[in-house]
Amino acid sequence: MDDGEGYLSWYYDIPIITRSYFTLSLLLTTLTTLDLLSPFTLYYNLTLILPPHNQLHRALTSFCYFGTANLDFAFHMYFLVRYARMLEEGEFVRQRASFVLLLLLSALLILSVAPFLNLTFLGSSLTFCMLYIWGRLHPEVEMQMFGVLNFKAPYLPIVMLTFSLVIGNSSTVDLLGIM
Q: Indicate the class that CATH gives domain 3-178.
A: mainly alpha
pLDDT attached to residue 166? 83
Partners of 152 in beta bridges: 142
Q: pLDDT for 127-172, tens place per residue?
A: 999 999 999 999 999 998 888 889 999 999 888 888 888 877 777 7
Give the contacts of 164 (CB within 8 A, at least 6 positions apart).
171, 174
| Of 118-122, 139-143, 175-179, minimum mean pLDDT range | 175-179
Q: For 40-57, give the secondary structure using H, E and C.
A: HHCCCCHHHHCCCCCCCC
Peptide bond into 115 cis (omega under 30): no
In terms of phi and psi (left: phi > 0; alpha: psi -120 to 50; beta: otherwise), the region of 45 is beta
Q: Say what percent of the chain tops pLDDT 90.
A: 75
pLDDT of residue 2: 64
Residues 6+ apart with CB under 8 A from 37: 28, 31
Q: How far apart, in Å, are the Cα atoms of 102 and each of 43, 130, 149?
A: 22, 9, 30
Residue 57 has a CB neighbour count (10 Å cut-off) of: 13
Separation of alpha carbons 14 and 22, rounded Å: 9
Alpha carbon of 28 to those of 13, 123, 143: distances in Å? 22, 12, 31
What predicted TM-score, i.e. pTM, was given to this entire model? 0.89
What is the residue extent of each domain of the chain? Answer: 3-178
String of DSSP letters for 1-48: --HHHHHHHHHHHS-HHHHHHHHHHHHHHHHHHTTSS-GGGTS--HHH
Over residues 50-86, the pLDDT tens digits come to: 999 999 999 999 999 999 998 889 989 999 999 999 9
